[in-house]
Structure 1
């Protein structure tokens, strides 16, 4: 090899070859891109040992029960639930939560008439329609929890909702919810089977910390057994036994005490979802002599989905003297709450039958969800002459934290008598509410 006519030595030639090879290797590496670097390990941000919880609801509610001498009612209330929940430590955690309710507008009675001294603005000479949201400051929940080995154990004041809350619920519609002083155990060790048991000695009712007697709580021995199995394909089966002996509560002379045994089955069938429930109720040692030894309950419905529309046709039946004292009764038999007293058992229940048709769909504007229901009410002989009701609900979910709801209900009574018996709810009732919910 020569450069400009001068011969090069062999050593110089080798050096030039190595230089060319190194340059080509560098260019190839550059074209191949930078090699991936091993990820730098990052530490997850430490979870706080204690986190706050907040649940706020502002509601305006209007009520008009057409009882002679009773005025319409309007309530503007603010409810705050403020709590602290601890981080899980070897399966253990704890929660404490207070509930605070203020009545900004208090032109209403917030407790049943015999307890007028406990209403928000008592005026026995000029009673107003009842809206059961009294001012209160109280402990809503406070419990210690353990989770492990497919089991959750919770001890203390707690929220309990079983199935559709027809028998055991938290009465979540009212501002001051119902909670339980209880020990509860839930287990899912067996595939497709959920077992639940709770023992409670007190159900803390919705009438606030200043209430007394049966308004403040239903006390006694409360055993709640519930088992759900989902291992039969789309079929879900639930069995339950709710044993409620309120021997420490003078509520309607023990009429609310009961032992209830029931089964629930749900299954889809094409575009239709079927629901069926039947329950059998007996009295207890604290039940009054006049209460019969047994009573029956049945609830069936079929929900048909057509595009964005869902139609549900249902029938619910309560035999005479069948009671559900711990239920979320607002979810059943109409939002006018015309039949809550007999269903809870604070007055005698001579029987109730309810045929209903519900239509639900999202509306094509503003992200609103629309729900409407028509009810026909009758006695336990299915003579449908208690009256009828029409309910409408509009709901708008802004995000995971904000929810707005507007609700209207009108119950048209057939008068003070219904065939051969007195009408359970003889007065026309109108209720309307608007609320905004925020939680995190």
Structure 2
């Protein structure tokens, strides 16, 4: 008899009256079933650990503040994944039928299945789900938006006033099955992109959205933070025509992020992705060299663009130090607490433009990602060894430890392994 439970990596919901302990747990939880006609049920093939998941593991205060209002006693974490559709509600089926129409071109099997039927007729076909399951890998935009607020109505769903995030506010993908609204589904034909890449397109999307905030063609760029997001931003900036790329990171003696490990793993990969110069700004001499090199390479002007990907307080100082007058700073990293900025000196008198980046533009960023990945970015990611670990879901602790000690960049977890 088939079990009605599945293994999942969960985090206890924080409460004001007790400590929110570090760590995660592997638990048996009920397999979700379709309860809303707009829902799609997906069997997860691969999921990936991101910085937010690490923050949840470490019980980061900003995430505690975000999750404390959750009503359930726990949440299944994880919001990066690839999988296959196994069920859908009635309304969802119509949406999926529409997506199939769009993706059926130049595919004889799919064109024969669609035939001359309407979307409504196709939605009622008993074989619709099996055809989608057999021919497509799926992922999803895991920021669930309301569709009603001012931002949603003017095409800015990425800043919806009522956003709920799967893996933070609602059950996510570190498990065998996940449910998402049909309108959030993204289809990829079998073989279009490697499954392991699709599994962390959510993270690629953050870097793409950051890069979308400015025209990079011919621009000099400083990328502060050489973790997953910084490395992705480096690759995208290079593919987008940046003329010179300066990358920084900060070593932390006594942790996995030693200077030697940063140089060996992160900086070597950054250079594979197109970085011209890399600096460990935790070392005073290296930080000074970073600033001097930027000035020398830009004839004393400063860089056109800064992408702040680390959330480190000192990186903000570096950003304003190297940005040119009239330049653009895009902020993706999440600092803890307040950051002191002299707006008169650093922003107003320098004419700086500052962009705050959250999530992905829905679905513009996803389509830009699809194009970049198909144009060679996916091959670069795989060839560079960016995916450092692929583990069964049950070995999630090993994956988090690899990230913690500096050996892991992108860690893939496989629920079916």
Given the two structures, how large is their TM-score scaled by the length of structure 1? 0.25
Bigger relative contact order, structure 1 or 2 (CA pairs below 8 A, ≥6 apart) = 2
Richer in helix (by share): 2
* Higher Rg: 1
